[in-house]
Amino acid sequence: MLPEYAGLVDPVVELRAACLAAVAWLGETGPVEVVADAQGRRVAEALLAAAGGLVSTSSTPDVVETPEGKAAPEAPSAYLVVANGSARRGEKAPGHLDERAAGFDERLGRALRGPDLEALAGLDEGLGAELLVGNTTGLRELGGLLTAEHRAMVDYDDDPFGVQYWVMRWQCES
Amino acid sequence: MTLKLGRHEFADDATLMMAIVNRTPDSFYDKGATWAEDKAFERVAQVVAEGAEIVDIGGIKAAPGVEIGPAEEMERVVDFVARVRAAYPSLVISVDTWRASVGRAVCEAGADVLNDAWGGADPGLVDVAAEFGAAIVCTHTGGVTPRTRPYRVEYDDVVASTITDTVGYAERAVAAGVSRASVIIDPAHDFGKNTFHSLEVTRRLGELVDTGWPVLVSLSNKDFVGETLDLPVGSRLAGTLAATAVCALAGARIYRVHEVVETRQVVDMVWTIAGRRPPARAIRGLQ
């Protein structure tokens, strides 16, 4: 996903397209706050930039100039969580096969779709680390950001390299 | 600067494969395998399929041998150039000749490049290139007569001589009206050089690249490879590719070759190591 790792042929055409469309959609509503680890933050900023020159709230100054004078920037109205499922889903996966990966991802996928706030907030960080889940902490945080009024839209759900990816959007229906 | 080869243009970071197509009964590597016109045409089809951007058609072998006059040389190459032009409109056609009269005839038949392997022996060749908007390859031979072998040649500094002569030839071409974007320099390994000279030119190829003129290298299966490894023609591919890698790292742009596929892989690999080309498809460790 990072431009500095681009080859001549994109190995993740569909995934990238889904990410860019979702991020563009997110940017339409206003300032975007990123929930990610350090590497995920680079991915988030790259996607935001590629989706039309967007930037996250953490990349905007603490104080902005307005016609009325200095003011705090607009509060975030959207969140971009960068995470992924297990990277141990097969023998060719980056972390080789761990038999527990499929079950973990299945439960996680169900919790994301629900959304099941309790299941997300209660994700096992230790198991997540063992299964090379990208950013279990961020997924737990997602459980705190979502509400019972949110409905999930699944744009992508696949594991092309033995790593489980979802591109999902949640919108509050109330 | 964009490289302009007759009707074709290439970006300034592109590397190009120039495949050798001999219309000769006696060239050192293929020994007449493509002497028959249809065999030569099959060779063109093969190298195009293998990804060559340029074919270099030659009617006279470089080594000494039976004298071939201009009329005979034209008979070997002119109609063939026209046939290739008609069949492959997007292919760059180069003709390996030192003679202005042959150059004129092949340009009329559709050639894009005049590859003068003999360092400007015929001063009229640059005028033909200018007249037809063709590119020209300016080689270094140390001033020898065409189709002679080097014999006890000495240089104070072979690379300095190579730069002086090729750049001088390039400037002569521009003065004659050839576009600056259509001039290429070639140190001409083995031409007017013993093996030590060719090895030094290879080792210091970056100095030629630093002149700013695009550099062509013609290394394929040559004697400097054979003498270095003590291997006969037919067993020199690995040595050729090693020399190719060194020249690619230094920044050579055009590779005159017998083996297109292998050379393309080596050049792409080295060009990518040098940071001038992205990997084809990178996912390892990035999933």
CATH of the domain at B214: 3.20.20.20
Q: Is residue B280 part of a domain?
A: no
Q: Is residue B176 part of a domain?
A: yes
Q: Is residue B95 part of a domain?
A: yes
d(CA A27, CA B27): 66
Q: Is residue B44 part of a domain?
A: yes
Burial class (CB in 10 A: 0-12, 13-18, 19+), A99: exposed
pLDDT of residue A174: 73
Instruction: With beta carbons under 8 A apart, name residues in chain A contacting B285.
Output: 94
For residue range B149-205, what is the model confidence (pLDDT) as tens digits? Answer: 888 888 999 999 999 999 999 999 999 999 999 999 999 999 999 999 999 999 999
Q: Flag if B279 and A7 touch (Cβ within 8 Å).
A: yes
Q: Flag if A7 and B278 touch (Cβ within 8 Å).
A: yes
Q: Mutation test of the interface with chain A: which of B13, B276, B283, B287, choosing the one with the most A Cβ atoms within 10 A?
A: B287
Range 126-165 of A in CB contact (< 8 A) with B: 161-163
Structural domain harbouring B251? 3-273
For residue range A134-174, what is the model confidence (pLDDT) as tens digits? Answer: 999 999 999 999 999 999 999 999 999 999 999 999 999 87
Listed in sequence order, the residues at least 6 apart from A100 whose beta carbon sits closer than 8 Å to its beta carbon are A127, A130, A131
3-class DSSP state for residue B129?
helix
- Using 70 as the pLDDT threshold, list the residues of chain B that sit under it: 1
Measure in Å the smallest separation between the Cα of B154 and chain A Cα atoms.
46
pLDDT of residue B25: 87
Side-chain-side CA neighbours of B24 within 13 Å: the count stands at 25
Looking at the structure of chain B, the number of domains it has is: 1
A75 touches chain B (CB under 8 A): no
- Residue A64: band (very low, low, confident or very high) from pLDDT cuts 50, 70, 90: low
3-class DSSP state for residue B206?
helix
Which residue of chain B comes nearest to A92, CA vs CA? B284
Q: Is residue B278 part of a domain?
A: no
Reply yes or no: is the peptide bond before residue A115 cis, omega within 30 of 0: yes
Reference B142, options B198, B96, B180; nearest CA is: B198
Q: Is residue B279 part of a domain?
A: no
Q: Is residue B171 part of a domain?
A: yes
A65 or A47, higher pLDDT: A47
Which residue of chain B comes nearest to A4, CA vs CA? B278
d(CA A79, CA A56): 9
Show me where the domains of chain A are located. Answer: 1-61+71-82
